[in-house]
Amino acid sequence: MPVFDFNNAPDDKKPVVCTYTTFSSNEDHASIENPILVLDNSKKEWNHHSCGIFTNQSKQTAFEFDEDGGTISADILLVDARFVSLLKWLGENHINVRLSGKNTESGYAVYRIREIAFGGGTKLSAEDGFLQFMIERLFASNAPAEEVEDEDGEENGDDMKLTSIQSITDFMTCAGRTLPDNIRLWARRNLAVARSHEVSQEERRHAQRALSIMMNIQWKNDYFEAIDPEEARRILDEELYGMERVKQRIIETIIQINRTHTLPAYGLLLVGPAGTGKSQIAYAVARILKLPWTTLDMSSINDPEQLTGSSRIYSNAKPGIIMEAFSMAGESNLVFIINELDKAASGKGNGNPADVLLTLLDNLGFTDNYMECMIPTVGVYPIATANDKDQISAPLMSRFAVIDIPDYTPEEKKIIFSKFALPKVLKRMSLREEECIMTDEALDEVIELYSDTTGIRDLEQAAEHIAANALYQIEVEQKKKVVFDAEMVKELLD
């Protein structure tokens, strides 16, 4: 078998020509039909598992197979646009890899890349773990709009846990233009600070911590897949009884997302008495959107700095609650559930917490004092709850579509108690419905006892009390079943 040795090649070689073309893909995994890259196999068909390294990294155009008789080079024909920077990184660092693929009419379709030790053995180290982590992150990313040559010619990144400087450097390099441009530039500046010996150790520590937080977040675009309205309605019916006008308004929002594939310009503000299920509605919407959610309890926030973070000039500086929410979610698209928005203007510190929310709600970007970077918020959907909308400032109100949540009627409360609250408690206590029976008069008495209270929380507590009493009588007094009438209910709950 011929050996291709380029060590003695003449110096007047032709310039390397880019042989590949990129293609955009949003597939979340690789397969023969959706490969990471395709290699030329017109002169030789390659084995299912083949080892070697990527070469010609000025243009990332070839892969050198390590064959029995030496090395054989094959041009790269196609590359998933998300993986261009990763292949460049693998080649520049001379990392030995094993390709898994299949020979097809269009070429050798590669669907898996594993790092190996020199000579083809398994590399028992964290490096392959990082490579697999990096590949998974790229599959979760959106394809860049277009491939643009980096003027500086160098990008730096992160590792499996994205905490060390080397791991952050590797991640940035491999992620390439899948990161938002402003975050890429910000990361370079902070990486320079983290590596510099001309700044204090404290500054380097803050820069590294900020980089770790930022690189661990999956930055997504604002494109949203269509949502099944029937599935959305099923979730709403499962979580909420009645409230037809509220459900209709939410379904209208879903239809709008399906038409535009973007989130509405305004979030939702749910206004109503305590205990009417406002938070439950917010959780249901997050479930429908299939997004992670986080809560901001405005009644416990007294200072804007709790939201915006503190400046790095302080040794104990840290990001704010909003930035920490992005970090906990692990991605930039999420639902912010802002509880008790009517308490946002009552801050006791220096400034008004409500003013900070305006930048988050405008979807123009949010700046955290610790991160010192504009955080994209196009994928943030805010849902706020409040008891009294008169306490909310006009600028805040203008950022929301207001949905009034009415209190339940006595008849609705009766159905909720008998069909939802009590059966739920009985199931949790391992009681059968025939062991705890409520007469119609008993149900009416429960509703009458709590006629002056709003919402259904008191009814849920009443169901808990009644079920616990039934369980006591069955276990201690050895009764087969307990039938509650109006007098028993009044004596128990009054």
98 pLDDT more than 50: yes
| Paired strand residues for 380 | 334
pLDDT at 126: 53
pLDDT at 370: 93
pLDDT at 7: 45
58 pLDDT more than 70: no
CB 92 within 8 A of CB 57: yes
pLDDT at 153: 36
CA distance 316 to 320: 12
What band does 36 get if pLDDT is binned at 50, 70 and 90?
very high
Q: What angle do CA 488, 491, 494 make, to 5 degrees?
A: 130
Tell me the mean pLDDT in the region 41-63: 82
Tell me the mean pLDDT in the region 244-269: 89
pLDDT at 80: 92
Tell me the mean pLDDT in the region 219-245: 85
pLDDT at 177: 85
CA distance 68 to 464: 74
Tell me the mean pLDDT in the region 381-392: 88
The closest of 103, 86, 181, 95 to 139, measured between CA atoms, is 86
Give the helix ranges, DSSP H, for 13-125.
84-92
What band does 3 get if pLDDT is binned at 50, 70 and 90?
very low
pLDDT at 79: 92
CA distance 329 to 379: 12
3-state secondary structure of 483: strand
**Polymer length in residues for the chain:** 494
Structure tokens, 392: 């909310």
| Paired strand residues for 103 | 108
3-state secondary structure of 404: strand
CA distance 72 to 54: 11
29 exposed, middle or buried (CB, 10 Å; 0-12, 13-18, 19+)?
A: exposed
3-state secondary structure of 142: coil
pLDDT at 395: 85
293 pLDDT more than 60: yes
pLDDT at 168: 87
Sheet containing 267-271: give its strands across: 293-297, 334-339, 380-386, 267-271, 400-404
pLDDT at 161: 54
Q: Could you give the angle at which helices 229-239 and 244-260 cross, rounded to 10 degrees?
A: 150
Rama region for 429: left / alpha / beta (φ>0; ψ in -120 to 50; rest): alpha
Please state, for a pLDDT cut of 90, what percent of the chain lies above it: 22
pLDDT at 14: 53
pLDDT at 245: 86
Fold for 410-493, please state it: Helicase, Ruva Protein; domain 3 (1.10.8)
Q: 54-63, 208-217, 351-360, 436-445 — which is least confidently predicted?
A: 54-63
Instruction: Please give the sequence-ordered ranges of beta strands (E in DSSP) within 32-190, or none if there are none.
Output: 37-39, 49-55, 62-67, 70-80, 97-104, 107-115
CB 34 within 8 A of CB 72: no
Q: What is the pLDDT of residues 329-380, one digit of tens each?
A: 888 888 989 988 888 765 555 667 877 888 778 777 888 999 998 888 888 8
Neighbours of 280 (CB within 10 A): 12
pLDDT at 348: 54
Residue 57's φ and ψ, nearest 5 degrees, are: -75, -5
Q: Do domains 229-404 and 410-493 have the same CATH topology?
A: no
Q: What is the pLDDT of residues 106-155, one digit of tens each?
A: 999 999 999 987 654 444 445 678 888 899 999 988 888 664 444 443 33
Tell me the mean pLDDT in the region 24-51: 91
pLDDT at 122: 47
440 pLDDT more than 60: yes
The closest of 238, 237, 230 to 254, measured between CA atoms, is 230
pLDDT at 148: 47
Q: Where are the domains of the chain?
A: 21-139, 165-215, 229-404, 410-493
pLDDT at 353: 80
What band does 186 get if pLDDT is binned at 50, 70 and 90?
very high
- pTM above threshold 0.85: no
Rama region for 13: left / alpha / beta (φ>0; ψ in -120 to 50; rest): beta
pLDDT at 255: 92
421 pLDDT more than 80: yes
Q: What is the pLDDT of residues 187-213, one digit of tens each?
A: 999 999 999 989 899 999 999 999 999
Which class in CATH covers the domain with range 229-404? alpha beta
What band does 458 get if pLDDT is binned at 50, 70 and 90?
confident
